Structure 1
Amino acid sequence: MKFYSGFTLKNENIYFDKYINKSRYTICGFSYGAIKAIKDVKEHLRDLKRVDTLQLFSPAFFQNRDEKFKKTQIVGFIKNRDLYIENFTKMCFHPYPQKSVEHNEDDIDELRELLFYEWNKNELQEIAQSGVNIEVYLGKKDQIIDTDIAKAFFLEFATLTCIKDANHFLLTS
Structure 2
Amino acid sequence: MKYFNGFCLKNEKKFFKDYLEEKEFIVAGFSKGACKALEYSLNYSERINKLQLLSPAFFDVSEKFIELNINAFKKSKNDYIKNFLTKAGINQWIMENGKWKIDLEDIEIDYSCTEKQLLGLFTFDWEKIRKVKNIKIEVFLGEYDKIISLKKAYKFFKNYSEVYLIKKSNHFLRS
Other-structure match for 1:7: 7
Task: State the AA in 2 paired with 1:74.
Answer: I
C-alpha distance in 2, partners of 1:72/1:117? 18
2:138 aligns with one of 127, 135, 138? 135
SS at structure 2 position matched to 1:169: coil
Other-structure match for 1:17: 17
**2:5, 2:12 within 8 Å by CA — same for their partners in 1?**
yes
Q: What is the correspondence of 1:144-163 to structure 2 with a 5 Å cutoff? A: 144-163=147-166
User: Normalising by structure 2, what TM-score?
Assistant: 0.89
CA RMSD in angstroms comes to 1.2
Task: State the AA in 1 paired with 2:108.
Answer: E
Other-structure match for 2:79: 83
SS at structure 2 position matched to 1:6: coil
- Give the CA deviation at 1:125: 2.8
Other-structure match for 1:42: 42
C-alpha distance in 1, partners of 2:36/2:129? 14
Other-structure match for 1:60: 57
Q: Deviations over 1:70-119 (max 9, x none)?
A: 1111000000110001101111116xx44623011211111111111121
Task: State the AA in 2 paired with 1:57.
Answer: L
- Give the CA deviation at 1:152: 0.2
Other-structure match for 2:130: 125
SS at structure 2 position matched to 1:135: strand
Q: Which has the larger share of helix?
A: 1
Task: State the AA in 2 paired with 1:18.
Answer: D
Q: Which has the larger share of strand?
A: 2
Other-structure match for 1:168: 171
Q: What is the correspondence of 1:99-110 to structure 2 with a 5 Å cutoff? A: 100=104, 101-104=107-110, 105-110=112-117
Q: For structure 1, list consecutive stretches of 5 or more residues without a partner in the other structure.
A: none
Q: For structure 2, list consecutive stretches of 5 or more residues without a partner in the other structure.
A: 93-102
C-alpha distance in 2, partners of 1:155/1:61? 13
Q: Deviations over 1:40-74 (max 9, x none)?
A: 00011xx2x10000000000011x11111111110
Runs of 4+ aligned structure 1 residues displaced above 3 Å come to none
- Give the CA deviation at 1:16: 0.3
User: Normalising by structure 1, what TM-score?
Assistant: 0.90
1:70 aligns with one of 66, 69, 86? 66
